[in-house]
Structure 1
């Protein structure tokens, strides 16, 4: 064999080995999950069960908040990006468009159950009945006064309504990257502003930044700890955390409705929302654990009314909705922009 042929054969062999190595590198055994702090306890349970009962390694899961998780998920289709993102609200159309622009073009949306947003406090106090309008007036950056919008002057809850506690307005809540924050702004702030014509046709969702609202980060357990230490404050977090800490916290009624599983699943509780996870289908072939994990998550053992996750505070979907979610996983249904509009 002459030198040119030898060189060609050697180059081909090197390229073949490199290609095989690249293909091997493109296969990742460990699933990567990011997203909502509210969904995190449920997903963590499935993660541990998945690692313990299958031949796949235990997935890596991070609590980044819904918005933060979707941002990471949408960075691109590369194997260095997340495979799954959890969300305590539905993906926004703008987020979906960002995914598409970055090459994440095949996404399956899976609804897992319901949750309510609780406004809770230490059980050292008597339970407080609140309306969304009262919460709005306590937390809005600007409120109506004498026909004008002014910086929020209210210092105590009793300044808003004499029937409310004579306590300073202190509310520990999630940051702007959180799905709970998004849902709170829509379901409480926007709804609470509807009776005030001065805000126009669009709901007002700006939260005051003078210390009445205290950004407590993505870890809802930290809010629980703060309420146990500061018994005059309120906290905003997912209902599951209230249920888990029922020995030390009590939830406020909102518009006369108590936060409990029946009221949340029926839609009677006005601050109820759906929870989701999203699958990056472009990773399915190279991350073989992804769909077995999703199937375990949506199994009756996990998400039925008598499953493990409702025991942790998840509000189960009705039978037909659970089946629709399972079909979405089984058929790898592709989310479309029109679904979000």
Structure 2
């Protein structure tokens, strides 16, 4: 089905509001997904609603990337979201879920860059300096396939302080959790040549050993509320937190970034991807809903006007894409082109 054809079909769908089984189309954009992207999308939504287009304010929900994409991929129609915010690319399995449920016009729009930051209280006298290997050995359920026995950072690395391992982080539904596993834990795991060999021999076992996090209380899932996570770390000098860089920047008076491999999280190191936790942020838009949900194209245009170096999203902590990448994203906004499964993992 073409985008236009799907839109015409959607116009007769919606949440039950009438009689005799009839439904009415939805009049506002519905967005779900990443807690990292949430403040940026809310900022755009607020200005969009105040604009001269006369569109209703979009409904924006912070569900986490995984949960958001699950909702997004559940089907076409007014009862399903129009956009999913994501702090990582859509997975191949999620793409197939979308297709299975009739969501075939998936438009991917990179909107900016963020860093997966490790933070600590600014009141801590001496800051942590960690490597991916340190972090992996401290948090893996079975580091390098062996039982987890470390209770303090000093047991992980004698150069680290003798304080209990206590890390606040995102739940499994979060894209930040996925990025943490891929960018930090797996890199630390692969510091052992045997783990690199395992990846070639048994990729499923490699993923289990390298990305499964311990569940004995050393890692505390803090939900999708990044402000609460930041507050807990700020008030606990022995704790570490894992969250998006924008929250670190907004609370620099209370928490500070922890260097990973000697590189601190800054706007510069994230934009040039020298910081190990740098990652792109995405909007996934349901092409079948263009023309049926009022303002969907206009909302994307409003987002594109805000994501540049001089845009107001930079004031909220969004790190802009390069000029070439922004031009490519703008071209997608102006001429939405669905992606294929090629290149997805």
Q: How does the TM-score come out when normalised to structure 1?
A: 0.89
**Distance in 2 of aligned mates of 1:195 and 1:304:** 37
Q: Which residue of 2 aligns with 1:9?
A: none
1:190-269 to 2 correspondence within 5 Å? 190-199=186-195, 200-201=198-199, 202-203=206-207, 204-269=210-275
- 1:78-127 deviations in whole A, cap 9, x for unaligned? 21000000000000111001100000011110000111111101001132
Alignment of 1:1-341 (within 5 A): 25-53=23-51, 54-125=53-124, 126-144=126-144, 149-199=145-195, 200-201=198-199, 202-203=206-207, 204-299=210-305, 302-340=306-344
CA deviations 1:268-292 (Å, max 9, x no partner) are 1011100000111111121021110
SS in structure 2 at match of 1:276: strand
User: Does the CA contact (< 8 Å) of 2:143 and 2:189 recur in 1?
Assistant: no
d(CA) in 2 for partners of 1:49 and 1:287? 18
Q: Deviations over 1:271-317 (max 9, x none)?
A: 11000001111111210211100110011xx1111211111111101
The question of whether the paired residues in 2 share the 8 Å contact of 1:26 and 1:286 is answered with no
Specify the SS of the correspondent of 2:312: coil
Contact 2:130 2:258 in 1 (8 A): yes
Deviation at 1:228, TM superposition (A): 2.1
Residue number in structure 2 paired with 1:15: none
Q: Which runs of 5+ in 2 are unaligned?
A: 1-17, 200-205
Instruction: Report if the CA contact (8 A) 2:153-2:164 is conserved.
Output: yes
Equivalent-residue separation in structure 2 for 1:33 and 1:222 (angstroms): 22
Counterpart secondary structure, 2:104: coil
- 5+ residue gaps, structure 1: 1-19
Moved more, 33-42 or 122-131: 122-131
What TM-score do you get using the length of structure 2 for normalisation? 0.88
Q: Deviations along 1:57-88, whole A, 9 cap, x unmatched? A: 11111000000000000010021000000000
Match of 2:13 in 1: none
Counterpart of 2:299 in 1: which secondary structure?
Answer: helix
Instruction: Please state how far the C-alpha of 1:26 moved relative to its aligned partner.
Output: 4.2
SS state of the match for residue 269, structure 2? helix
Contact 2:85 / 2:284 at 8 angstroms: preserved in 1? yes
Q: Tell me the distance in 1 between the aligned counterparts of 2:235 and 2:152.
A: 19
Runs of 4+ in 1 over 3 A off after TM superposition: none
Question: Matched residues in 2 for 1:212 and 1:141: separation?
Answer: 10
Q: Distance in 1 between matches of 2:25 and 2:141?
A: 49
How far off is 1:198 after superposition? 4.2
Partner Cα distance (2:300, 2:19) in 1: 28
